[in-house]
Structure 1
Amino acid sequence: MNGAESLVRTLTAQGVDTCFANPGTSEMHFLKALDNPRMRSVLCLFEGVCTGAADGYYRMTDAPASTLLHLGPGLANGLANIHNAKRASSGMINVVGEHSSSHLKHDAPLTSDIEGLARPLSHWVRRVESSRAVAWDVAMAVGKANEYPGRIATLVLPGDTSWQDGGEYVAPPRVRAEVKQPDAARVESIAKVLHSGEPTLLVLAGRATRGRALELAGKLKAATGCRLATQFFCARSERGAGRVALERIPYAVDAALDYLKAFKHIVTVETTEPIAFFSYPDKPSLLKAPCTLVHPLAEIGEDGTAALDMLVQALGATSTQAVLQPRSNMAPPSGGLTPASIAQALAAALPEHCILVDESLTTGRETMSITAGAAPHDCINNMGGSIGYGTPVATGAALACPDRRVFCMVGDGSAMYTIQSLWTQARENLNITTIIFANNSYAILKAEYANMGAGAPSGRALSMIDIDRPRIDWLSMAKSMGVPAVAVDTAQAFYKTMTDSVREPGPRLIEVRL
């Protein structure tokens, strides 16, 4: 058994059964080894799609996938979505091909410092030294990726370690990581805060925005009157009718300051205190009021569910019934396309247990409030802010949950970063409805231009954030990649097209012409 075969055998034995791949010459033996019935290999036409899809896969499964990237430039192409995955605490195993050890001294054109590229955005980096070490190195990488709440592991695989004989295969044991438990004294202190009756906001993140953790938070709200919120962006939250409702801290600094000033205490669960996404002239970076106290219940990397359970018990609220979000039964909208009518159409059209991936920026700002009472669904946001995450993450989420429809909302400027995702969606026949909000502009930058105190863009500045010369033909773009597409320009048509897209399997694209 050669090193590449040992690598794939170890991945599958350790529970990693999906590889998002963009291979090159140095990875041909790895590619051959992927011809394994226990491994699903998914071809992506750009490395940023590979890494973004691995992120989406983890967010829906809490289990890491592998990527296959070609040398340093291939890794570099994938780094933006590795950044987003790291910020979302998504586990991922990046296998990066490298020249054979004997070839490196010749400084061939594709030679680069792969470890140097990987380290800033990886929690663990290792170069395989021999074919006999492959299995053990892979086991370490999987163990690292599985650490709570999810870690980025990057394994550099020289070509000769792939093709050389690895000897008799010995399966490494699984590396099991302990989940760090919250501090009991900290829990007791926060219980006293909630007993005080002073205005308190619990800010939930990580895995605390779904499942049992969300139910426990609902008990705390019912028992003490505290309020529950997330940061503006959330890795994955369970929302909609029948679930505990979470407020959303506003994105805009002034709105966030106004929202947070009402609270004497902020309790954080798997997150930090609220901060501004950017720094602006004459505006603060920390968004809480000066007199507000911040209490970490569970730090990032600690078990937020366990912390909330301990807090519920400390408050004697185990039998308290959480108040759940009622169904809104939103009627389909009529008239023109506005952020409000778009959100209303979504609220009426979303099927039960769908997945909503949001990279809509300006157009989707009203989505969260209006869809709060929609059918139960999961929502995924961009935690790292690097553009081009939406369509790859939707691809990975659909592969992870083939029985659920995925809706991906993305602005036209953002979509152009990783539009190659459509090709993979068609090739794999994934149940994804991609919604392109086509305003022919980087509209978010027009707002930020004003927020930075630069006034209104005009002339050369405006031309750098408009993308209407030439206009992108989204219908032709989708058709060229095998995805049926339609354009809409009214709220009624948008609602109907969304509901129609659910009835047939496979991908669809809707261009929303604004």
Structure 2
Amino acid sequence: MNGAQAVIRTLVGGGVDVCFANPGTSEMHFVAALDDVRSMRAVLTLFEGVATGAADGYARMAGRPAATLLHLGPGLGNGIANLHNARRARSPLVNVVGDHALTHKRLDAPLESDVDALAGAVSGWVRRSLTTGEVGADVADAIAAAARGQVATLVLPADVSWGDGASVAAVPARRPAPHPAPEVVDDVARVLGSSTVLFLGGGAVGEAGLRAAAQVAAGTGSRLLAETFPARMARGAGVPDVLKLPYPPDAAREQLAGVQHLVLVGAVEPVAFFGYPGTDGRLVPSGCTVHVLATPAEDAVAALQQLAELAAPGATPAVADARRPGLPTGALELRTLAEVVGALLPEHAIVVDEALTSGRFLPGATVGAPPHDWLTLTGGAIGQGLPAATGAAVACPDRPVVSLQADGSAMYTVQALWTQAREGLDVTTVVCDNGAYAILAAELENVGATSGGERAGQLLDLGGPSLDFVALATGMGVPATRATTAEELATQFRTALAEPGPHLIDAVLPR
């Protein structure tokens, strides 16, 4: 058995049976081995950032790793932004990066680079396979490392792949996440009350975690907040409705004003995304004590259930009522776009939200929709939405995926549409087309760059020429329409949801 065959067989044996790939010459033995191991599903992407983002979306929904296959340092570099988002989401991901044959490294060929250093920036675990005989064990270790909620990068030299004498290795059993110590739960129970906020992230914003947290809130008067960009959050009718901490620092500080005890549950201490002149990036109020009920590596759901049993036995958690906005009419704007989504969102949908500034009304419009999952831009590196929707659809083929996508960030990874068409994925993309990097217009003011004029504005504007998302989508095999009114959006959204396969709607919004 050659090294590439052992790699794929070990991956499949360890439960990693999907690989999002953009291969090159150094990965050809891996590609050839796919014919020998048909239980591995290989999904071709046209850009490495689509492969890494899709693996992230897959992991968030499947709860287990997908693999990627990238070509040398430049290919890894193209995929780094969405590996960064995966790292922030604590997604399990096995990132296989091909490299030059060990005998070729010394020649400094044109594509030579320090793959290990690049990988280290976004990986919790990095290893370079050096011998064919050990490659199976290396893959098994990579799977075990990824299962701990991190990107595990295996650098695979070409001659290790083509060499003979490899064997399949068994993957160690996954260890369950540790529970917090009883004294930690006791200490947190003593500070619960109206001046306490439970700050939720990770597994704590799944349905079981939200119910336990809402029980604590109901029984103690404590407040609940979720991190700004959770990896996967349960929402909808019958699920506790928990507000997310706002993105703008001033609004976040307002939400936290007066809090004396901030309890972290599967989340880290909140800070502003950026530093602004004359302001402190730390959002926790002065005099507030920060407590840790469960770290992101611990079982946040178990911690909340223990806390609820101790501090709020018998309390009834508040949940969202079933309600939908009426279908709007007239002009298509941010509010009416959100109302259309809320009115028509199907049951058990997976919503991938990279609407950015166009999404401000979405939470309120969808809170009472049928139960669904909401995926967000965890690391802030835009271009995550379309790939993550692709991976989520591969992971959950029986669930509709709705991708709410800003126009500027859509262009980072628009090639994901081709993969959706090729794989026949049930993804409905709504492009929020306001013709601008609108978030940067606000940030220009926030950072105090008040001298920004016409030339600065040109770097924030997407016109001249305007992007034609209908042409872009149809050119990659995805049926597409354009909506300019609320009625048109509702008709097109309903049709797209009813028909199998991918669709795109270009929702034209005011600039």
TM over 0.5: yes
Letter in 2 for 1:187: V
Q: Name the CA distance, whole Å, in 1 between partners of 2:399 and 2:173.
A: 31
Letter in 2 for 1:76: G
Residues 6 and 166, structure 1, Cα contact 8 Å, conserved in 2: no
| 2:460 aligned residue | 465
| 1:122 aligned residue | 123
Aligned match for 1:509, one of 470, 492, 504: 504
Q: Name the CA distance, whole Å, in 1 between partners of 2:87 and 2:145.
A: 13
CA displacement at 1:136 relative to structure 2? 0.3
Could you tell me which runs of 5 or more consecutive residues in structure 2 were left unpaired when the two chains were aligned: none
Aligned match for 1:401, one of 396, 418, 443: 396
Q: For this pair of structures, how many residues does the alignment match?
A: 508
Structure 2 counterpart SS, 1:379: strand
Residues 330 and 374, structure 1, Cα contact 8 Å, conserved in 2: no
Residues 47 and 78, structure 1, Cα contact 8 Å, conserved in 2: yes
| 2:70 aligned residue | 69
Structure 2 counterpart SS, 1:294: strand
| 2:190 aligned residue | 192
Q: Name the CA distance, whole Å, in 2 between partners of 1:434 and 1:173.
A: 37
CA displacement at 1:178 relative to structure 2? 4.5
Structure 2 counterpart SS, 1:334: coil
**Pair 1:207-2:203 in alignment:** yes
Structure 2 counterpart SS, 1:96: strand
Letter in 2 for 1:127: R
Q: Name the CA distance, whole Å, in 2 between partners of 1:243 and 1:401.
A: 21
CA displacement at 1:87 relative to structure 2? 0.4
| 1:496 aligned residue | 491
CA displacement at 1:175 relative to structure 2? 4.7
Aligned match for 1:261, one of 257, 261, 265: 257
| 1:131 aligned residue | 132
**5 Å matches for 1:46-445?**
46-147=47-148, 150-167=149-166, 169-194=167-192, 197-317=193-313, 319-445=314-440
The change in CA–CA distance for 1:316 and 1:409 in structure 2 (over 3 A counts) is closer
Letter in 2 for 1:232: T
Q: Deviations over 1:88-108 (max 9, x none)?
A: 100111111111111111111
CA displacement at 1:184 relative to structure 2? 2.0
The change in CA–CA distance for 1:190 and 1:455 in structure 2 (over 3 A counts) is same
Q: Name the CA distance, whole Å, in 2 between partners of 1:57 and 1:371.
A: 23
Letter in 1 for 2:329: S
Q: Name the CA distance, whole Å, in 2 between partners of 1:255 and 1:385.
A: 18
TM-score by length of 1: 0.96
Q: Name the CA distance, whole Å, in 1 between partners of 2:323 and 2:277.
A: 40
CA displacement at 1:70 relative to structure 2? 0.5
Q: Name the CA distance, whole Å, in 1 between partners of 2:367 and 2:259.
A: 23
Structure 1 counterpart SS, 2:292: strand
Q: Name the CA distance, whole Å, in 2 between partners of 1:501 and 1:283.
A: 46
Greater displacement, 285-294 / 85-94: 285-294
Q: Name the CA distance, whole Å, in 1 between partners of 2:454 and 2:168.
A: 66
Q: Name the CA distance, whole Å, in 1 between partners of 2:413 and 2:155.
A: 25
Q: Deviations over 1:169-199 (max 9, x none)?
A: 35334253352321322210110111xx342
Residues 446 and 456, structure 1, Cα contact 8 Å, conserved in 2: no
Structure 2 counterpart SS, 1:105: helix
Q: Name the CA distance, whole Å, in 1 between partners of 2:253 and 2:99.
A: 49
Structure 2 counterpart SS, 1:154: strand
CA displacement at 1:232 relative to structure 2? 1.7
Q: Deviations over 1:91-149 (max 9, x none)?
A: 111111111111111111111111011012111111111111111000000000001xx
Q: Name the CA distance, whole Å, in 2 between partners of 1:308 and 1:314.
A: 10
Residues 198 and 265, structure 1, Cα contact 8 Å, conserved in 2: no
Q: Name the CA distance, whole Å, in 1 between partners of 2:156 and 2:6.
A: 12
The change in CA–CA distance for 1:483 and 1:471 in structure 2 (over 3 A counts) is same
CA displacement at 1:293 relative to structure 2? 2.1
Residues 143 and 177, structure 1, Cα contact 8 Å, conserved in 2: no
The change in CA–CA distance for 1:466 and 1:173 in structure 2 (over 3 A counts) is closer
Q: Name the CA distance, whole Å, in 2 between partners of 1:300 and 1:275.
A: 16
The change in CA–CA distance for 1:455 and 1:369 in structure 2 (over 3 A counts) is farther
**Pair 1:17-2:12 in alignment:** no
Structure 2 counterpart SS, 1:305: helix
Residues 449 and 456, structure 1, Cα contact 8 Å, conserved in 2: no
Could you tell me which runs of 5 or more consecutive residues in structure 1 were left unpaired when the two chains were aligned: none
Q: Name the CA distance, whole Å, in 2 between partners of 1:234 and 1:143.
A: 24
**Pair 1:42-2:43 in alignment:** yes
Structure 2 counterpart SS, 1:363: helix
Residues 9 and 168, structure 2, Cα contact 8 Å, conserved in 1: no
Residues 190 and 295, structure 1, Cα contact 8 Å, conserved in 2: yes
Greater displacement, 226-235 / 70-79: 226-235
Q: Name the CA distance, whole Å, in 1 between partners of 2:282 and 2:366.
A: 29
Residues 143 and 171, structure 2, Cα contact 8 Å, conserved in 1: no
The change in CA–CA distance for 1:445 and 1:456 in structure 2 (over 3 A counts) is farther
Aligned match for 1:482, one of 477, 480, 494: 477
Letter in 2 for 1:433: T
The change in CA–CA distance for 1:247 and 1:173 in structure 2 (over 3 A counts) is closer
Greater displacement, 420-429 / 248-257: 248-257
Structure 2 counterpart SS, 1:248: coil
CA displacement at 1:497 relative to structure 2? 1.4
The change in CA–CA distance for 1:265 and 1:369 in structure 2 (over 3 A counts) is farther
Greater displacement, 342-351 / 174-183: 174-183
Letter in 1 for 2:366: T
Residues 253 and 283, structure 1, Cα contact 8 Å, conserved in 2: no
Q: Name the CA distance, whole Å, in 2 between partners of 1:316 and 1:112.
A: 56
